[in-house]
Chain A
Amino acid sequence: QKEVEQNSGPLSVPEGAIASLNCTYSDRGSQSFFWYRQYSGKSPELIMSIYSNGDKEDGRFTAQLNKASQYVSLLIRDSQPSDSATYLCAVAGSSNTGKLIFGQGTTLQVKP
């Protein structure tokens, strides 16, 4: 079992729709969770961080965390073609050091 798992996609949604990206993790002691966006040929860019169970909203983005189910998700409302990218789920494990464990990423395609 991989430590952080994501569906690689591609996930294709029409412009204006809601895109839903999912991630599961194996370390029950994990405390911090991050979503990064990576455009082709570029470095990862932080979208959201979430630390507590529940929802966290920032503009068109909502992160959801359920520690009991070891599940974190990212919703993108009103998807735009510029949202087309790879979305990486990252988890900081139970050790208190700067190690992030990444999923393989989900490729999102938003079609005009």
Chain B
Amino acid sequence: KAGVTQTPRYLIKTRGQQVTLSCSPISGHRSVSWYQQTPGQGLQFLFEYFSETQRNKGNFPGRFSGRQFSNSRSEMNVSTLELGDSALYLCASSGAGGRETQYFGPGTRLLVL
């Protein structure tokens, strides 16, 4: 089976812009979770989608949003980018979410200038 894919892999934006990141889960997986990884804060949970519904959300401002499509592909959007949004954004998929094992994609590295 193909693994989790994420596009784009690298992105450079300026403050105030917005960005959309995409994630395609492993075939058959219905749950997609998003995480932000920074050197200072480590890996932090953003949100999880299952069957097109957001089931859980982490402690991030409303500038961070996401959605999931009927084919389980997911996108996350960050509006009004700030310098502190520079990070590695990771998505992970699992069969049904919950307590199942999550498999990570390669990540999208975002640099905000």
- B33 in contact with A99 (CB, 8 Å): yes
| Residue of A36, A42, A51, A100 touching B33 (CB-CB under 8 A) | A100
A101 contacts partner chain B, Cβ-Cβ < 8 Å: yes
Does A97 contact B102, Cβ atoms closer than 8 Å?
no
Instruction: Please name all residues of chain B whose beta carbon is closer than 8 Å to the beta carbon of A105 when the two chains form the complex.
Output: 42
- State how many angstroms separate the Cβ of B72 from the closest Cβ of chain A: 12
Contacts of A92 in B (CB 8 A): 98-99
Interface of B is mostly: strand
Among B14-22, B43-51, B75-83, the stretch that binds chain A is: B43-51
Other A-B contacts than A43-B104, A98-B97, A99-B33, 18 sampled, CB-CB below 8 A, are A31-B99, A32-B100, A34-B101, A34-B102, A36-B104, A42-B106, A43-B88, A96-B99, A97-B55, A97-B97, A98-B48, A98-B55, A98-B92, A99-B48, A100-B33, A100-B45, A102-B43, A105-B42
What residues make up the interface of B, taking CB atoms closer than 8 Å to A? Answer: 31-33, 35, 42-45, 48, 50, 55-56, 58, 88, 90, 92, 94, 97-107
Interface on A for B, CB 8 Å cutoff? 31-32, 34, 36, 42-46, 49, 51, 88, 90, 92, 95-105
